[in-house]
Chain A
């Protein structure tokens, strides 16, 4: 049974806890240390694992019933009294059903509320499209003043929850259903909001991913290496503020970039990265992997990632394609602005 050592807490048996359980545990530990932290959910205490907080600190736990918009506004009101509300529900409800409340009551009013959106992307694939959420990153990126984080695994989620609570201002943390395989081996790695993690170094092409696809990108990089292709992998866990420097380095060093996200290719990670590339004025081949403006079919998450080309096989295919892509280059790259 492995213990995962945090900065101020220890998670027992981290290897056997789901992503969601680990965040629940971390949040509870933080709540025990700081009585300003309150936890809210909309009848999803069990599914989102915020229920762990409820068991330990029932007096600071509020279930608002199946009323997400109301929950978001109440959290804003509580934040106005100096509390630090952490709300958790499924991503599709937090980001879409309650979108205007997140915008007007949290972002516009600069209230210190943390949203932990679970079951994002197609992580609850078998539940059907009503419960998928491949739009939340686009919506949240468009809201002014909110930090947007998409951790790759449970350890990153734990770090994001802690860093998010320490950050003064609105934060949106997008996680899966909680059964995702781990990317990291422990909590012991450099983690900073807005700073990409370089999981593999490479010079031929860069794969920039967030969420579960990061693990698949790493696997693809390792397989590509055996074929003599050098792939850089960036875990872009923070979409806003985006680590523009890491993107620009990738542009200059590799000139070929693939983005991978369990999200529509419109408005999410691929769009954020493309914005930086466009602004740079540099030549760069870009391929955005994700849902190509379509709703996902129903299925198990790993099957869906495969079907839509977001797993190691799909990323390998994209690497091969993009490496073959020709540039319409100027005669002299040095002429670039």
Chain B
């Protein structure tokens, strides 16, 4: 469980990095900012509290693994890795620029700390499962974490992997679904309904924990519970808000992807600061 001070620290870090996501989006011309902000608190909890990592040794063999299956959230992941010192955060000024190591979807061979190159949806979950199965086979104690988008659950390969994870009882894998309820074309319930998501995962042999994906106590408690599970892989369905923290983006399909001018950036930063 989080102490009050730890919670405050995570909330402060989350705000600081939300601001950084806005700054990078302003500088680079456009990112998948809506989804980056919805997954953000989960990422912050993982990287600043839960995962065993060492920014000085990105390839440390015993580190926990992380796969951002919804790879378009790469801007959020990059901001976290830069802040932790996996690379010089100043490099993010070149995000999206020609020849930069950072495109919208991060490349594991170019960005230290990235365990899998993602972006094509439906790949990250089976990649993470392969890492978890590899760890189990070799008796390694590290854990694998993965964030999947709810729209991403339209992909059939997510369910192929879900079936395999249940079959092979991948208890060393914890998956979050960033359920912001919006995909590129609109509400997932209209584009292609994925509910009931919990029932689907349960039917595939998973334990399902449903939480508020912006509450650090809930995120940390759910991960703790997932580690205690001995029979089934665990999926944490995190109810989130697309564009979280920026009032004019929250719940707006249009902010799946977008750019910001100086005025919008200032409004976005002011909005984030108000939440603190």
- Does A73 reach chain B (CB closer than 8 Å)? yes
Task: Mark contacts of B82-114 with chain A using CB atoms, 8 A cut-off: 1 yes-contact digit, 0 otherwise.
Answer: 000000000000000000000000001100000
Contact present for A74 and B130 (CB under 8 Å): yes
Contact present for A81 and B131 (CB under 8 Å): yes
Contact present for A59 and B137 (CB under 8 Å): yes
- The A58-79 residues at the B interface (CB cut-off 8 A) are 59-60, 62, 64-65, 67, 69-70, 73-79
In the assembled complex, the CB of B206 is this many whole angstroms from the nearest CB of chain A, namely: 16
- A76 to B115 Cα, complex, angstroms: 11
- A110 to B164 Cα, complex, angstroms: 24
Count of chain B residues near A, Cβ 8 A: 31
Contact present for A38 and B137 (CB under 8 Å): yes
Across-interface contacts of B126 in A (CB, < 8 A): 69-70, 73-74, 77
Q: Find A60's partner among B108, B128, B137 (CB 8 Å cutoff).
A: B137
- A81 to B156 Cα, complex, angstroms: 25
- A83 to B134 Cα, complex, angstroms: 7
Stretch at the interface among B116-124, B239-247, B253-261: B116-124
Q: Is the interface of B mostly helix, strand, loop or mixed?
A: helix
Contact present for A80 and B164 (CB under 8 Å): no
- Does B45 reach chain A (CB closer than 8 Å)? no
- A69 to B164 Cα, complex, angstroms: 12
Say whether, besides A83-B137, A104-B123, A105-B123, A77 and B160 are in contact (CB < 8 Å): no
- Does A191 reach chain B (CB closer than 8 Å)? no
- Does B46 reach chain A (CB closer than 8 Å)? no
Across-interface contacts of B130 in A (CB, < 8 A): 73-81, 85
- Does A100 reach chain B (CB closer than 8 Å)? yes
Contact present for B161 and A74 (CB under 8 Å): yes
Contact present for A69 and B133 (CB under 8 Å): no
Across-interface contacts of A77 in B (CB, < 8 A): 116, 126-134
Across-interface contacts of A82 in B (CB, < 8 A): 134, 138
Which of A64, A65, A74, A77 has its CB near the most chain B CB atoms (within 10 A)? Answer: A77
- The A209-236 residues at the B interface (CB cut-off 8 A) are none
- Does B157 reach chain A (CB closer than 8 Å)? yes
Contact present for B120 and A100 (CB under 8 Å): yes
In the assembled complex, the CB of A31 is this many whole angstroms from the nearest CB of chain B, namely: 13
- The B44-73 residues at the A interface (CB cut-off 8 A) are 65
Across-interface contacts of A300 in B (CB, < 8 A): none
Contact present for A109 and B134 (CB under 8 Å): no
- Does A108 reach chain B (CB closer than 8 Å)? yes
Contact present for B127 and A70 (CB under 8 Å): no
Across-interface contacts of B160 in A (CB, < 8 A): 64-65, 67, 69-70
In the assembled complex, the CB of A172 is this many whole angstroms from the nearest CB of chain B, namely: 19
Which of A59, A80, A108 has its CB near the most chain B CB atoms (within 10 A)? Answer: A80
Contact present for A69 and B157 (CB under 8 Å): yes
- A243 to B65 Cα, complex, angstroms: 40
In the assembled complex, the CB of A246 is this many whole angstroms from the nearest CB of chain B, namely: 33
Across-interface contacts of A67 in B (CB, < 8 A): 157, 160, 163-164
- Does B135 reach chain A (CB closer than 8 Å)? yes
Contact present for A73 and B134 (CB under 8 Å): no
- Does B9 reach chain A (CB closer than 8 Å)? no
- Does B12 reach chain A (CB closer than 8 Å)? no
Across-interface contacts of B129 in A (CB, < 8 A): 73-74, 77
- Does A291 reach chain B (CB closer than 8 Å)? no
- Does B140 reach chain A (CB closer than 8 Å)? yes
Across-interface contacts of B119 in A (CB, < 8 A): 104
- A60 to B163 Cα, complex, angstroms: 19
- Does A23 reach chain B (CB closer than 8 Å)? no
Contact present for A81 and B138 (CB under 8 Å): yes
- Does A101 reach chain B (CB closer than 8 Å)? yes
In the assembled complex, the CB of B134 is this many whole angstroms from the nearest CB of chain A, namely: 3
Contact present for B115 and A80 (CB under 8 Å): yes
Across-interface contacts of B164 in A (CB, < 8 A): 64-65, 67, 70, 74
- A76 to B129 Cα, complex, angstroms: 10
Across-interface contacts of A64 in B (CB, < 8 A): 160, 164
Contact present for A78 and B133 (CB under 8 Å): yes
11 pairs, A vs B, C-beta closer than 8 Å: A38-B137, A59-B137, A62-B133, A70-B164, A77-B128, A77-B132, A77-B134, A78-B131, A78-B133, A80-B127, A83-B134
* Leading 4 A-B pairs by shortest Cβ distance: A77-B130, A81-B134, A73-B126, A70-B160
If A62-B133, A74-B130, A78-B137 are given as contacts, then 17 extra A-B residue pairs at C-beta distance below 8 Å, sorted by A number, are A60-B137, A64-B164, A65-B163, A69-B122, A73-B157, A74-B126, A74-B161, A74-B164, A77-B116, A77-B131, A77-B132, A80-B134, A81-B134, A81-B138, A85-B130, A100-B120, A104-B117
